[in-house]
Structure 1
Amino acid sequence: MDERFDVVIAGAGPAGAQCARDLATRDYDVLVLETEAEDEFPRGSNKSTGGTFPSMLASFNIPNDVVMQFTDSIVLESPNHSYTRRQTGAVLEFADFKRFLVEDGQAEGAEYWFDARVSGPIVDDGEVVGVSYNGSEEVYADVVVDATGPSAPLARELDVVDLQREQQAIGIEYELEGIEMDHPDYADLHDAMMLRLDHRIAPGGYSWIFHTGEDTAKVGLCYIQNDSHREFAADGFTIDGYLTRWLDEDPRFADARKLEGKQHRGSAHIQMPTGLSTDRFIAIGDTVPTIDPLWGEGIHKGMKSARAAAITVDNCLTPHDQDTSAEQMALYDHLWHTDVAPKMRTRLMMTELLYLAPNERYDTLMRDLNSADEGTLNDANNGDLLALLKLLRLDDASLVKRLVKERYLN
């Protein structure tokens, strides 16, 4: 007899595992298919900085013991200036976080099959009815969820998403010890998450130092290989080369040492979703994509997308006459645009404008932030147009004109 579940989820990342966790608490028969082997999980998919906020921990009942360090501030750096604001944060031990979600979901009744590489959807009469995995193996469900991230084997084949290569961000991160967290030439980074805008280090992107206790931190960078990257990039440099140059040149790393086995690589797409759901199918997390375009925070939004998917599935499967049509699944689309990633288009525009700016403009931005009201950055970060206008200068007209020409007129 064919294996059958209420819901099959492809991928055991934070979004997939949280969706399973939510649905299992509602007593649905849930199966998660995960590519990695159980005894190694999540060795190959441990790709996040783990930077998030206590509101995520509280909203999803995440224990403190998966947190490496609670932070008290966010620091923004440009090549020559910085801005510090009070903002509580949490730097997770990402592997522990993922294992907790899986184990907690299993305790609620979710079933996990490891060593199960999803290859494509099973479609019958135009509707998704299951998933193929490990070549010829099949499993069936009333609803299928793609939480595989940028690979998106189900969502791509169903034409739900169109992830564009030119909008793909790549990142690399080391965990280091021996860092001078309070160097006299820089802002104090104790109990801080720092983001640096500097095209010499991350052309068309940003770099970071997330304090994880004493003299240790997560240190990395990411960028999108777009027009901004091509304009500011150094000839022949790979992403590894940029990180190596930063570690060699920044005096805070003069005595720093890499922690063995603590190197992470990852990618995500920074673009508007082209689709979110269809008949009997939903895409969540970085499959959509859901990552915050401006500062790269993806954990909280991925978890929110998981919960929105679980709410949608519950709404479709609870009635006696179950309805998993595209029309009913569109509840997820509504929740995504209103609760998961509101004002996404505005935030994407802000991101593109920010990365078009030269290093000199980043220096003036830090000075402007230091003289602005405390809430200005927060309001601008939330897509408030008036707050954004406060941070623009007359000289930015050329950047806006260029953005409009490159993005909307070509």
Structure 2
Amino acid sequence: MRDRFDVVIAGAGPAGGQCARDLAERGYDVLVLETEPEDEFPRQSNKSTAGTFPSMMTSFGIPDDVVMQYTDSVVLESPNDHYVRTQTGAVLEFAEFKRFLVADGREKGATYRFDSRVSAPITDDGEVVGVRYDGDEEVYADVVVDATGPAAPLAKKLGVVDLKREKQAIGIEYEFEGVDVDHEGYADLHDAMMLRLDHDLAPGGYSWIFHTGADTAKVGLCYIQNEAHHDYAKEGMGIDDYLDYWLEKDPRFADAERIEGTQAHRGSAHIQPPGSLSTDNFMAIGDTVPTIDPLWGEGIHKGMKSARAAAATVDAALTPDEPDTSAEALSVYDQLWHSQVAPKQKTRLMMTELLYLAPNERYDRLMADLRQTDDDVLTEINNGNRAAFRQLFHLSDLPLLAKYARQRIAE
């Protein structure tokens, strides 16, 4: 007899784990295949800064005991200025968060197989009917979900995603103690998540300090292999070199040391619009799509929302007496993704590209502009409102807009 489930999910990250929770709770027979061994999980995939918002915690029933620190403000820094906005947040202990999703999914009835590397879809007459893993192992399902992130072994082979290398963001982060979170001349970072725009430190990206209590913080940076990175990059320097450079240069780290027993968090994500999201008997969720917010890099909440949208679509497809998992039926997920998971994604991508193309001196002016802009306008900007976004532009930005236009034409 074939090894068979209602749904097979590849990947036990936030999206895969949440999709399994939702489907198991609805009574479906769900299998999650995860590459890492269970006794190490998630050592290799402990990659996220894990900054998110209380709305995610409430919506998905996440317990407080996976939170390292609740925060009450977001700080934006430029090379010579900063802006502070009141915004509640939560910095998660990412490994504990992922282990909670697994434990809760199992309690609801999901099956997990660790140390199980998915390699390819199994197709029959052009349609997905299962997955192959660990060489010659096979498992079959009515619906297959790829939640493996940028690796995307199923989505790529099915032509559902086309992740471009030049749109890939790479990042590194360490956990430190001895960080001066209220250093003279800088913003007070107590109970704050700080994002710094500075091409000297992260050309074509940003760096961050997320306060995790007392004198501890998550410290890291990321950048995209974009035109700005090529314009501002220092010859011969890689991602680790930039982090070391920042640690040596910034007085807030003068007495900082890596917390013993913690490891580097390394990760990548693609900052690009999705192509398709599903096909017959198949959906891609989380960073496989990709789903990460392009502007501020928040991926947990959006990944979880994509998982819930996929689970709802599966439920609607499998509930009738005659289940329908065709591409047309599963395209409901695509609609939910664009309307509820990542609305106005194209506008947010445009805002992101313009932001990273801007020079450092424009970042200083941006901080002053933000202080003079009321909260309602800022909320509209963050929601992708182009009219509100235009309020931040000056005549002096015309060369920047022209540069962006040339880049888009070239693409």
TM range (shorter): over 0.9
CA distance in 1, matches of 2:10, 2:178: 40
CA distance in 2, matches of 1:323, 1:373: 49
2:173 partner letter = E
For residue 393 of structure 1, report the CA deviation from its aligned partner: 1.1
Aligned to 1:370: 371
For residue 373 of structure 1, report the CA deviation from its aligned partner: 1.0
CA distance in 2, matches of 1:398, 1:380: 22
Aligned to 2:387: 386
CA-to-partner distance for each residue in 1:207-255, whole Å, 9 max, x for gaps?
0000000000000000001111000111111110110010001000000
Aligned to 2:201: 201
- Give the 5 Å matches for 1:177-192: 177-192=177-192
Q: Partner of 2:276: helix, strand, or coil?
A: coil
- Give the 5 Å matches for 1:189-268: 189-260=189-260, 261-268=262-269
Aligned: 1:48 with 2:41: no
For residue 399 of structure 1, report the CA deviation from its aligned partner: 1.1
Aligned to 1:72: 72
Aligned to 1:352: 353
Aligned to 1:27: 27
CA distance in 1, matches of 2:333, 2:375: 35
For residue 378 of structure 1, report the CA deviation from its aligned partner: 2.1
For residue 91 of structure 1, report the CA deviation from its aligned partner: 0.1
Aligned: 1:3 with 2:3: yes
CA distance in 2, matches of 1:366, 1:189: 16
For residue 184 of structure 1, report the CA deviation from its aligned partner: 1.1
1:139 partner letter = V
CA distance in 1, matches of 2:108, 2:130: 23
CA distance in 2, matches of 1:15, 1:400: 36
For residue 405 of structure 1, report the CA deviation from its aligned partner: 1.3
CA distance in 1, matches of 2:379, 2:196: 17
1:313 partner letter = V
Q: Partner of 1:375: helix, strand, or coil?
A: helix
Please, which runs of 5 or more residues in structure 2 have no aligned partner?
none
Q: Partner of 2:391: helix, strand, or coil?
A: helix
Q: Partner of 1:262: helix, strand, or coil?
A: coil
1:171 partner letter = G
CA distance in 2, matches of 1:38, 1:31: 15
CA distance in 2, matches of 1:365, 1:262: 35
Aligned to 1:149: 149
Aligned to 2:409: 408
2:75 partner letter = V
Aligned: 1:161 with 2:161: yes
CA distance in 2, matches of 1:385, 1:272: 17
Aligned to 1:316: 317
CA distance in 1, matches of 2:188, 2:152: 40
CA distance in 2, matches of 1:89, 1:66: 13
CA-to-partner distance for each residue in 1:81-122, whole Å, 9 max, x for gaps?
000010000000000000000000000000000010000000
CA distance in 1, matches of 2:387, 2:373: 13
Displacement over 4 Å in runs of 4+: none
CA-to-partner distance for each residue in 1:266-325, whole Å, 9 max, x for gaps?
000000001100000000000000000000000000000000000000010000010000
- Identical columns (%): 71
Please, which runs of 5 or more residues in structure 1 have no aligned partner?
none
CA-to-partner distance for each residue in 1:353-383, whole Å, 9 max, x for gaps?
0000000000000011111112322211111
Aligned residues between the structures:
410
Aligned to 1:12: 12
CA distance in 2, matches of 1:127, 1:157: 12
Q: Partner of 1:121: helix, strand, or coil?
A: strand
Aligned to 1:270: 271
Aligned to 1:289: 290
- Give the 5 Å matches for 1:295-306: 295-306=296-307
CA-to-partner distance for each residue in 1:164-188, whole Å, 9 max, x for gaps?
0000000000100000110111000
Aligned to 2:334: 333
1:36 partner letter = E
Q: Partner of 1:194: helix, strand, or coil?
A: strand
Aligned to 1:139: 139
CA distance in 1, matches of 2:46, 2:327: 33
CA distance in 2, matches of 1:262, 1:136: 33
**Which TM-score applies when normalising by structure 2?**
0.99
1:369 partner letter = L
**Which TM-score applies when normalising by structure 1?**
0.99
2:283 partner letter = I
Q: Partner of 2:265: helix, strand, or coil?
A: strand
- Give the 5 Å matches for 1:72-111: 72-111=72-111
